[in-house]
Amino acid sequence: MRPIVFLLAILLPAALVGLWLPFWSLSIVALLAGFALRPGPARAFLWGGLAGGLLWGLLAWRIDAANAQVLSTRIGHLFGVGATAMVALTALAGFMLASTAALLGDTLRTPPRKRRRR
Amino acid sequence: MAVLLFALVVALNVLLSLRLQVGGNALPPLGRFLSPQEGFWCAAEPTDAQPPAELTLRGLEEPVQMVWDESGVPHLFAANDRDLYRAQGHVVATLRLWQMDFIARAAAGRISEVVGGQAVEFDRMQRRKGMVTGAEASLRALMADPVMAPLLEAYADGVNQHIRGLRYRDLPLEYKLLHHRPEEWSPLRSALIQQYMVENLSGWDRDVEDTYALQALGPELLDLLFPERPPGVAPVVPTTTPWPFVPETIAPPPAYDPLAVLAADSLRSDPTNGSNNWAVHGSRTTSGRPLLANDTHLGLNFPSIWIPIQLANPDHRVFGFTLPGACGVIIGHNEHAAWGVTNAPRDTRDHYRITWRDARRLEYRHDGRWLPVEHRVERIAVRDGEEVIDSVRITLHGPVLFDEGQGEVPQREGLALRWMGHEPSMTQKALYLINRVRSYDDHVEALRWFHTPAQNWVFAATDGTISMRVTGRFPNKWRGQGRFILDGADLAHRWQGFLPYEHTLAERDPERGHVSSANQHSSDEGYPYWTYNGHVEYYRNRRIHQLLDGMPAARPEDMMTLQHDGFDLRSEEALQALLPLVDTTLLQDRERALLGGLRRWDRVCRAKGTEAALMHLWADEVMIALWDTLQQFPLPLGNPTGYNTVRILADTSLRATVEQALGIRITDMALNSFRGAVQRWTNAGSPTWRQHNNARVTHLARIPALGREQLPVDGAGTAVNAQRGGHGPSQRFVVELSSPPRAWFQLAGGVSGNPGSVRYDDLLDEWSTLRYREVRFLRDAEEGDALAFPRTVLRP
């Protein structure tokens, strides 16, 4: 399976369910994608994380640009970082939530022992 | 492996859902907070955001048109009062929900629920002072009024419809930062916000300090250092002709020795909360029309305390500044008149010594009898902590603020507080009526309902009338009653009645052609009632008088210039008194040069200049050097006012009296205090006034990232442009009473309370300059369309 398919399989549904469900819905979607598509552990972690990071990073970047960094500058002060770093921090949080969950999904479907035998 | 990963994923999600404590600060749950779909990013408004074209507001009888002008100010056009105030509640909630919720909680002593144990003492004092009791008393009076009750209900419903539609992602940013939820609005919460203003503007006194000063210094020195009314003051309403009424007399006690009652108040409002207002008669203006100006000095906060708004229905059309929670506008103008307020310092708080029957403190003496004390149990909920239970003793005078062992100093313990803030107040009804005034007589009748907090109301009408009225409900006191601690056992020490409204201090169209107030003494000795307050203003009012006297043909821009006047009369008078006292031969070259700089300085506190910083440090040093001994008593007595200090320094015989009483040499003090000031100023890196004064606007929850500092503002606490640190003119307003009136305004912040909106602070930069925005006083929504202003229709 192409990594891009796996990435989109997380990014698009997560963007949709995130309109109604809280932030942890990103982890649920990544977990389900990892479980259903079995991308392998390295791909699950990397591409799953990229999906989450891209989703949150792009959404934050778009909001930030439309807002001329008014809010990210203020919140950045609160965190002791610059406005752009708030976008990066958001992307990083998205990456972590999705990567670990996608890896878990893949592992649940194909436990490491089985994988070695295969 | 899978178990470990599962644990990691769950742990990560849980961790990001928790409110973590980092370095003593609580971080919001980071997953939720950072999520661009529900976290802080949702508060980031696009800079070109347009308001919705339509919204639903159930309960409206007719649609309400809401036009948004270029400053983000809403203009509401409704078919009737109920629709108007329902829509006002709704729009104020959309702009300022967190602020109104937080202030109502603060007023009720419920901040610990949000921030935890650090606010318990604040909450305890709010409750002990009887803030909720006062708000409930006002609410009962208002809800018994057939006009006001449905309007307050409609306003609350408008707020609640906004709250009910909110999901987590829609919440104002502060709820996400502090991790709490908005609470349902009610007319009681509107009354609590009014109570918060009453406390803010009348919640201080010097009764306890003055009593101990009398004991420690004796009556003569007390009168010299803390006089009731020193010479040279210009009252708000001077006695020019005999007052057209016979004063009501009350019985003073046969003998009164304040010291006989000797045996609180840790959370004081800022006694320097003040304001300027004035009106100039048409005979002294270029246009022949009256001019009115008002700027209110409060703690400068984000979100701005004021919301500019226009409200209109078929019976009136008004523009002005409202407070969150209030129906109508407080300062403003309609088609016929304009009005504004400054705080009127009067003694509306007294402390009574309670004589307990025994150590159990269940009964207390009054008028020869033992009366049972009531207990009010207060339960203070504390976030992440245990509930705190407090029991407050209530006497017929009022609540006991500090029980034994609770006061900062024992001298404040066991005193009951009697305060106008406990009385029912119909102020909200007065605002309703004043928004609809058509004449001077309407204005006088409207203010009959204005009970607390006491305010100097300036008024000007398109018919040419100008007036000043010291408005509020005042206890009628015998001379000296309540300046010192009163005896709770003595019947004659109780408040015996209130001043009749017809006996209010007021003047209309005086010969000098202007009226003004700036928190100075309300009256002179000619007023047949005793008035007193230990914290009055001495400088701004005289400067305003002086400048208005010299203005034969005033224009609106002259009013704006006057509002921004940075001339510091206190520095002027202090330098006149101090400079002759300094022996310059004893100074080093640099000190002499700096003193020469002060001599040549024009007394204008400019942000970029350095003289004001040095002069204010010198004034501080003088106060410390002169009055430090007064702070060494078990109960610090406080400093005499700067005005009285200068009066003493400028008078040879008064100087001698103080030298003898306090054992100091004034010339040594003048020299050493100047050297001390130079030292402090040099050690601080020779700051400019901007650096030293640090004009700033602070977020209400003290979140530094949401405030602004080091604003380039001229002025000083004792200048007309009363900018002192985080305190200053929260808005400015100038009206020309043409038909219809034209008006201009400034706001220290912005219309929106959302830190993610450009409207959060977009008016602040203009506020520190002479740039004013002209008020858009729209006839109807169509006029807004013609100006291409966006419109929102609120439909039932």
Residues 6 or more apart in contact with residue B398 via CB below 8 angstroms:
B130, B352, B416, B417, B418, B419, B422
> Helices (H), strands (E): how many in chain B?
23, 28
* Strand pairing category for B388-394 and B316-322: unpaired
CB of B344 closer than 8 Å to CB of B522 = yes
Q: Which residues of A touch B44 (CB under 8 A)?
A: 63-64, 66-67, 70-72
A37-42 mean pLDDT: 89
Phi, psi of B309 (to 5 degrees): -160, 150
- Among the partner residues B1, B37, B47, nearest to A66 by beta-carbon distance: B47
Q: Which helix (H) or strand (E) holds B467?
A: strand B466-471
Query: What is the least distance, in Å, from the CA of B746 to any CA of chain A?
Result: 22
**A63/B705 Cβ within 8 A:** no
Query: What is the least distance, in Å, from the CA of A1 to any CA of chain B?
Result: 22
Burial class (CB in 10 A: 0-12, 13-18, 19+), B143: middle
Beta bridge partners of B769: none
pLDDT value, residue B273: 64
- Among the partner residues B31, B706, B758, nearest to A23 by beta-carbon distance: B31
**B47/A67 Cβ within 8 A:** yes
Which residue from B439, B517, B425 is spatially nearest to B131, judged by alpha carbons?
B425
3-class state of residue B466 by DSSP: strand
**B41/A23 Cβ within 8 A:** no
**ipTM surpassing 0.85, yes or no?**
yes
pLDDT value, residue B267: 34
Counting one residue from chain A and one from chain B, the pairs whose CB atoms sit within 8 A come to 109
**B47/A23 Cβ within 8 A:** no
**Any idea which residue has 């009013």 for tokens?**
B559
Cα B501 to Cα B155: distance, rounded to the nearest angstrom = 29
**A23/B35 Cβ within 8 A:** yes
Cα B493 to Cα B414: distance, rounded to the nearest angstrom = 17
**A27/B1 Cβ within 8 A:** no
3-state secondary structure B353-366: ECCECCCCCCEEEE
Residues 6 or more apart in contact with residue B369 via CB below 8 angstroms:
none
pLDDT value, residue B582: 95
pLDDT value, residue B266: 32
Query: What is the least distance, in Å, from the CA of A5 to any CA of chain B?
Result: 23
Mean pLDDT by 10 residues, chain B (796 residues): 74 74 68 93 96 96 98 97 98 97 96 91 93 96 97 98 94 92 96 92 86 88 90 89 88 78 47 82 97 94 96 97 95 98 92 91 94 95 92 94 76 88 94 97 97 95 97 93 92 93 95 94 92 89 95 97 97 96 94 96 96 97 91 84 94 93 91 96 97 95 91 94 94 96 97 97 94 97 97 97
pLDDT value, residue B22: 58
- Among the partner residues B45, B705, B756, nearest to A78 by beta-carbon distance: B705
Helices B642-649 & B611-627, crossing angle to 10 degrees? 80
Which residue from B237, B698, B685 is spatially nearest to B505, judged by alpha carbons?
B237
Amino acid B113 reads E
Q: Which residues of A touch B (CB under 8 A)?
A: 18-19, 22-24, 26-27, 31, 56, 59-60, 63-64, 66-68, 70-72, 74-78, 89-90, 93, 96-97, 100-101, 103-104, 107-108, 111-112
**pTM of the complete model:** 0.93
